[in-house]
Amino acid sequence: MSSINKRITIKEVAKEAKVSPSTVGRAIGGYGYVSGQTRRKILKTAKKLNYHPNLLASNFRRQKTHTIGLIIPDITNPFFTTVARGVEDQARKKQFKVFVCSTDEDPDIEKEYIDDLIQRRVEGFVIAPSTGGGKHLFNLQSDKIKFVVVDREVKNLKADTVHSD
């Protein structure tokens, strides 16, 4: 692997800064005690080495991904484009990223996206179910996965919903 593609690790930052890897983790992660002087030294070293935290590893430890799934029936529909923009704007304010999925009004594609995003550990969903779809939302509810339904009703589903005027 070339040095251009090599990711710098916490251990390498620790070695260069002459501190332990756990101290680097606390300084960069912003948790636990690290003196101001040591924190500045670590952050300066991390910047010099072009260190970037491994978000996958830290999210795995914390069980948080700061991602949500937005599932809409048609991304080309101006209404849903506006919904997507609004969801992304609000998510960004809370440092969340949004996976946007367009189902082409196909309940099977909708379910496929939901299953895939669950495997990616999204923390919740904003869903505008496809016409005639939404049966799989009952599974989300029974699995205690957070979701909000937008613009459409799913018969007998008790869920938080958002409708336009």
Instruction: Please tell me the pTM assigned to this model.
Output: 0.64
Q: Are residues 100 and 117 in the same domain?
A: yes
Q: What is the pLDDT of residue 3?
A: 47
Q: Are residues 77 and 158 in the same domain?
A: yes
Burial (CB count within 10 angstroms: exposed 0-12, middle 13-18, buried 19+), residue 38:
middle
Q: Are residues 49 and 67 in the same domain?
A: no
Q: Is residue 4 part of a domain?
A: no
Closest to 134 (Cα-Cα) out of 155, 120, 117: 155
Q: Are residues 105 and 130 in the same domain?
A: yes
Tell me the pLDDT tens digit for each residue of 72-122: 999 999 999 999 999 999 999 988 999 999 999 999 999 999 999 998 889
Here the CATH number for the domain that contains residue 24 is 1.10.260.40
| Secondary structure class of 97 (helix, strand, coil) | strand
Q: Please report which confidence band the pLDDT of residue 60 belongs to, taking 50, 70 and 90 as the band edges.
A: low
Q: Is residue 117 part of a domain?
A: yes
Q: What is the pLDDT of residue 55?
A: 60
Q: Is the pLDDT of residue 5 over 70?
A: no
Tell me the pLDDT tens digit for each residue of 13-22: 899 999 998 8
Q: What is the mean pLDDT of the chain?
A: 85
Rounded mean pLDDT, 61-80: 87
Output b/e per residue, 47-70; b: 16+ Cβ within 10 A: eeeebeeeeeeeeeeeeebebbbb
How far CA 151 is from CA of 39, 60, 103, 112, 143, in Å, comes to: 48, 33, 15, 21, 23
Rounded mean pLDDT, 36-56: 84
Q: What is the pLDDT of residue 31?
A: 73
Q: Domain span at residue 19? A: 10-53
> What is the total count of domains within the chain?
2
Contact 159, 150 (CB under 8 A): no
Here the CATH number for the domain that contains residue 151 is 3.40.50.2300
